[in-house]
Amino acid sequence: MKFDHLRGTPGSRTRLAAQVWEGAKVGAEAARVPELSEVEVPAAMKEEIERQMAKYPDPRSAVLPALRLAQAEYGWLSPDAMLQVAAVMRLTPAYLESIATFYDMFELAPAGRHTIYVCTNISCSLRGASDLLASMSEATGAPVGGSSPDGEFHLRSFECLGACDIAPMASIDGYYRGPLTADDTKRIVDEVRAGRSGSELLPDRSYGGDYARRLGERPRDGEGAR
Ligand code: FES
């Protein structure tokens, strides 16, 4: 049956994965595995991707951390960044793209250096998330869903980030802060511009202590993640 993988038959997930895998290898240039000698990969990024690959019986299991590493390195998953990951992992760029396009938090277009996600789900909305978002947009100069003209900030509204008890809240470079008021936004933006890391922002508004988004097992600003 041609589309049985869509019907949840036993083992269908494996077959679908195999079809995607085979499909990604067929045909044009994007399906060719690039040679490491053809691309320049930052040594630290290569080393970390290889460390991630070594953790799994199937190295492809490390695709997500590898893509996160590339995004942390370049700010977004440019075709060149994809090529680098593909060369290290011995995969096709097309295969990586099929995964990157599925996940919302991979940026497939140039994005500001610092990410600010303002939660606009129900708990945060009831406690003023829309004012917070508008204020954050004004303070950063970034439109919602876009980046500031100076390339410093990328602002998005987000569904529940799982920290409703500090609503309204935002994630700044992976560090959760809340409850926030519109007045906090300028301070946050000024401090980030001054070079403070997300972990140093409004320490009295942190969430369960500081913790960092794990970008390839390391936080964006190089501090220790828990
Ligand atoms: S609704 Fe905002 S963190 Fe859950």
Tell whether ligand 1 has an atom less than 6 A from the beta carbon of residue 163: yes
Tell whether ligand 1 has an atom less than 6 A from the beta carbon of residue 172: no
The packing angle between helices 43-53 and 79-89, to 10°, is 50
Q: Is the dihedral of CA 86, 92, 95, 97 positive or negative?
A: positive
Tell whether ligand 1 has an atom less than 6 A from the beta carbon of residue 125: no
SS3 annotation, 187-215: HHHHHHHCCCCHHHCCHHHECCCCCCCCE
pLDDT of the residue at 95: 92
Asked whether residue 29 carries a pLDDT value surpassing 80, the answer given is: no
Average pLDDT value for residue range 201-224: 56
Which ligand 1 atom sits nearest the alpha carbon of residue 121? 1
Burial 143-156 (b: 16+ CB within 10 A, else e): eeebbbeeebbbbb
* Residue from 130, 161, 205, 207 to probe ligand 1 pocket by mutation (most atoms less than 8 Å from CB): 161
Given a contact cutoff of 8 angstroms between Cβ atoms, the answer to whether 166 and 154 are in contact is no
Tell how far the Cα of 124 is from the centroid of ligand 1, in angstroms.
5
Asked whether residue 2 carries a pLDDT value surpassing 70, the answer given is: no
CA atoms within 13 A on the CB side of 123: 15
Name residue 99's amino acid. Answer: I
pLDDT tens-digit readout, 140-186 = 999 999 999 999 999 999 999 999 999 999 999 889 999 999 999 99
Query: What is the per-residue DSSP string for 70-113?
Result: HHHHHSS--HHHHHHHHHHHT--HHHHHHHHTT-TTS--S---S
pLDDT tens-digit readout, 113-139 = 899 999 999 999 999 999 999 999 999
Tell how far the Cα of 178 is from the centroid of ligand 1, in angstroms.
10
Tell how far the Cα of 204 is from the centroid of ligand 1, in angstroms.
19
Domains and their CATH numbers in the chain: 12-100 (1.10.10), 114-214 (3.40.30.10)
Tell how far the Cα of 101 is from the centroid of ligand 1, in angstroms.
25
Among all chains, which residue has been given the structure tokens 């997300």? 198
Tell how far the Cα of 152 is from the centroid of ligand 1, in angstroms.
25
Share of the chain above pLDDT 90, in %: 60
Tell whether ligand 1 has an atom less than 6 A from the beta carbon of residue 169: yes
What's the rounded Cα separation, in Å, for the pair 86 and 62?
12
- What mean pLDDT is reported for the chain? 82
